[in-house]
Amino acid sequence: MNKTVNINLAGIFFHIDEDAYLKLQRYLEAIKRSFTDSQGRSEIIADIEARIAELFNERVQNDKQVIGIKQVDDVIAIMGQPEDYIVDDEIFEDEPQPVRPKKTGKKQKLFRDPDNAYVGGVSSGLAHYFGIDAIWIRLAWILLIFGLGTGVLLYILLWILVPEAKTTAEKIMMTGEPVNISNIEKKIKDGFENVTETVGKAAKNVTDSVTNAAKNVDLKKQSNNIKSSSQTFFDAVSNFIMFFVKLFAKFIGILLIFVGAATLITLIIGLLSVGVVDIIHIPGLDMVEIANTGNTPIWLVSIFTFFAVGIPFFFLFYLGLKILITNLKSIGNFAKFTLLGLWLISVIALVVIGVRQASEHAYDESFNQKVELPVTANDTLTVKMVSSDSFHSSFNRNNGFKIKHNEAGEKVIYSTDINIRVKSTTENTAKLIIEKHADGSDYDIALQRAKNIVYTYEFRNNTLYLNDHLTTHVKNKFSDQEVYVYLYLPENAVVYFSQSTKSFLSYYRNSNNLVSRELTNHYIKINAEESECLDCPEEDDFEIEVHTPKLKINDDGIEITTDGNEIKIDDEGVKATSETVRVNINSDGIEIDSDENN
């Protein structure tokens, strides 16, 4: 019993046994490969199919009869083997020589090898392609899998994109000449020789034809000959150019694969480390969660980013593969449009999320806390920064934030965004205003967040101890929480800012801020809308600094040099040197030295 297939050959319907059908298909495929498009391949094939249909028709007595392997063999015997179709070319030398089918037969292509497959046959296919043992390719895969799992992705892509070697012809193409370094070299060399040979031959043809034409009376025929010879010549030149264009294209292909693969791999690692970790809640990564005031799940943002960036690079990668591997399968229009759609959705989603995130900072609200300090005129106030014991750390002061645990063991946002400003007041006592700021998508949220800022200080013994950090519960998210400490001091009060306050003060000193960074560690007297430093070193009224090769006058002392003589006065004493005598006056006494004892 045999399974049959229905076929349509040149418009005629046939029942054919499955094995006979496969044989016929292989036969037609082989013939197809014997021709190039420039020879009118499709037309020739159509003619041949029509003839085969005719021959079958002669062998079928009625509609019910099935064509078996015997009939196919008969027809092939009549039509001849694929080789019988191709030999012609050599005898028509005036025709431009198409690419010889022999050559295309030799050309190796990348296929998946189903016969030696462990998974998808990609490794053994690559092994054939590079002419090495498949074990090395498999080892490389395993290494890549352990190396961040990128091998899996690449393997799956190749599995999808590289066609399987099904027919014998494809298998021959697959196993053909291995592409290794020495063969690549050989190929390039062959390519060169081929090109130079054809150019040379064509040039010779042209000259031959010209001399022949001069000799021969039959001008018309010869002019034809010249024409075709010059055609061959230009063909050769274009071959030559194509050779380099192809070489360049391969290079670009390799580059694209590298760029595409590297980006995809990076993105996948990024997606795994942020996205997945977010879903399974690994401690330490909640930083991202708290900065994310828009409340969009991080894994969603990661996936959108992955698609928005990854898809263009996937296409680059695919393009590179396509340039390098000529018989690559198309990923199909469905896949292409799906990817394009996914990309558009991701980009739009990211824009929406971005707008939402930005709107979270639309309102900046502050909440004020006002306290009187028992500091009056002529009192001296000292200001120091303190850090709480439980938060003690070497955290660099910047506008960032940290996640910490407070005494109660709760998770809190910790920030050192504290700013101190000093102003004068006409009232009799000092006052302290603590202004807490936070952002939010509307007034209420911003105000609530501002209120939720925890900031403490302490006042004792005429010393103000300000905390160097603020804290707030993580549920408030990090929304630019900051604290401004305004210190209003009565006129004639004196204030001393310790070194610890330096980085919390402003760089500038003006009527709105009477104490700047450079005034720490000094006693500052507050006047109306201005301040006065009581113990700052007096600046020199005048300053002389002379620096010439012979004379130097500066803070260190005086130094005069002439030929052979030198006098130096500095902190150590007086030193005078002539060619033969040295005089040294210092705290030890006076010392005179002479080389000449007469």
Partner 1 sequence: MKIENTKAQMRKGVLEFCILSVLKDEDAYVAEILDTLKNAKLLVVEGTIYPLLTRLKNAGLLSYRWEESTSGPPRKYYGLTETGKLFLKELNTTWSELHNAVTIVTSQKTTKNE
Which residues of the shown chain bind partner 1 in the complex (CB under 8 A)? 9-12, 31, 35, 39-40, 43-44, 47-48, 50-51, 53-54, 57, 77-82, 84-88, 90-92, 95, 221
In whole angstroms, the minimum distance from the beta carbon of 315 to partner 1 comes to 40
Q: Is the dihedral of CA 33, 34, 40, 44 positive or negative?
A: negative
Q: Which is nearer to partner 1, 80 or 147 (CB)?
A: 80
In whole angstroms, the minimum distance from the beta carbon of 70 to partner 1 comes to 18
Q: Which is nearer to partner 1, 43 or 529 (CB)?
A: 43
Q: Which is nearer to partner 1, 88 or 458 (CB)?
A: 88
| Residue in this structure with the two tokens 């998508």, named with its chain if needed | 441
Q: Which residues, including other chains, have CB under 8 Å from residue 223's CB and lie 6 or more apart?
A: 213
Question: Taking Cα atoms as reference points, which of 128, 93, 99 lies closest to residue 111?
Answer: 128
Residue 553 in 3-state DSSP? Answer: strand
In whole angstroms, the minimum distance from the beta carbon of 118 to partner 1 comes to 41
The strands making up 457-460's β-sheet, listed across from edge to edge, are: 457-460, 463-467, 380-386, 494-497, 523-527, 530-533
Q: Which is nearer to partner 1, 26 or 582 (CB)?
A: 26
Q: Which is nearer to partner 1, 12 or 144 (CB)?
A: 12
CA dist., res. 8 & res. 23, Å (int): 16
CA dist., res. 454 & res. 431, Å (int): 19
**β partners of residue 149:** none
Q: Are strands 566-570 and 546-547 parallel, antiparallel or unpaired?
A: unpaired
In whole angstroms, the minimum distance from the beta carbon of 304 to partner 1 comes to 56
In whole angstroms, the minimum distance from the beta carbon of 88 to partner 1 comes to 6
In whole angstroms, the minimum distance from the beta carbon of 234 to partner 1 comes to 19
User: How many Cβ atoms from other residues are within 10 Å of residue 537's Cβ?
Assistant: 7
Report the first-to-last Cα separation within the chain, whole angstroms: 139
Q: Which is nearer to partner 1, 55 or 454 (CB)?
A: 55
CB 568 within 8 Å of CB 557: yes
Encoded amino acid at 43, one letter: E
Nearest-10 Cα torsion for 209, 214, 217, 221: 20
- Helix axis angle for 150-161 and 219-270, nearest 10°, is 150
In whole angstroms, the minimum distance from the beta carbon of 41 to partner 1 comes to 9
In whole angstroms, the minimum distance from the beta carbon of 47 to partner 1 comes to 5
Q: Which is nearer to partner 1, 44 or 69 (CB)?
A: 44
Q: Which is nearer to partner 1, 79 or 558 (CB)?
A: 79
Q: Which residues, including other chains, have CB under 8 Å from residue 539's CB and lie 6 or more apart?
A: none
Q: Which is nearer to partner 1, 54 or 379 (CB)?
A: 54
For 144, the token pair is: 């890549």
In whole angstroms, the minimum distance from the beta carbon of 79 to partner 1 comes to 4
Q: Which residues, including other chains, have CB under 8 Å from residue 18's CB and lie 6 or more apart?
A: 2, 3, 4, 5
